[in-house]
Amino acid sequence: MLLSPLITLLLTSIPPAVVAEGGCAVDRSPLETRVPQPLWGPDFDDLMFGRRLNGWRCKGGQAAEYKVCGSNFRSKRPQVSRTASGGLFVTLEMDHIRRLKRDDHAQVCLEFNAFGQLVAAQATIKIQGRPCVRSDRVVATDAPGAANPARWIATTVANQLRCAVASDRGGRRTFPDVIQHNCELVVQCIVMR
């Protein structure tokens, strides 16, 4: 098929987008970088989430830092992807900032259905110098009769992580509470289109 010279010129003058994957730059055409958005369904309000955490003011606008009980914490901008069923998968990373020592890290994966309801969550916490602790995958169907299944999921995940910091003090002991609070904030920032 022959293209008109004008269309050929337009197609060849658009530079390919460069997308980082695993630390490597990959050339992608502009058409490949577009993700089709459904007409309705859940969406994540990144700006609302950032405002509730003191704003995306750190790490070039990619993180929010805040204090809880005198300890410093950082939440990075969540990564959001669509599930095959029309829901969302939100991955959130948090750090307990320890200044002169290496930071402790946590990662939470939250799954929302097509109606914007939290249906499952799992978290991992890495306290420096100790083995990684992972919660079970907590699902909403395990909370029959819970008045607020999303809060039940967030609390259950945080309670499972508390065993990793039961003997600690300060920010490390507070870390599961920060994780729970971030999970509840993500739930509040899910909006329906």
Question: Could you tell me the pLDDT band of residue 159, with boundaries at 50, 70 and 90?
Answer: very high
125's tokens: 């916490």
Lowest mean pLDDT among 10-24, 52-66, 158-172: 10-24
Structural element, H or E, at residue 20:
strand 17-21
The percentage of residues in the chain with a pLDDT greater than 70, rounded to a whole number, is 80
Phi, psi of 97 (to 5 degrees): -80, 120
Question: Could you tell me the pLDDT band of residue 38, with boundaries at 50, 70 and 90?
Answer: low
Q: At a CB cut-off of 8 Å and minimum separation 6, what does 11 contact?
A: 3
Q: At a CB cut-off of 8 Å and minimum separation 6, what does 50 contact?
A: 56, 64, 77
Q: Is the pLDDT of residue 7 over 50?
A: no
pLDDT of 84-139, one tens digit each? 999 999 999 999 999 888 999 999 999 999 999 999 999 999 998 888 999 999 99
What is the SS3 assignment for 11? helix
Yes or no: say if 88 and 69 are a contact pair by the CB < 8 Å rule. Answer: no
pLDDT for 39: 66
Structural element, H or E, at residue 192:
strand 190-192
- Cα-based distances in Å from 2 to 5, 9, 13, 93: 9, 13, 18, 49
Q: Which of 36, 6, 2, 32 is nearest to 18 (CA)?
A: 32
pTM, entire model:
0.77
Higher pLDDT, 147 or 2: 147
Q: At a CB cut-off of 8 Å and minimum separation 6, what does 15 contact?
A: none
3-state helix, strand, coil in the chain (%, to 5): 30, 35, 35
pLDDT for 36: 56
d(C-alpha 3, C-alpha 1), whole Å: 6
- How far apart, in Å, do the first and last CA atoms of the chain sit? 40
42's tokens: 């859940």
148's tokens: 């607020």
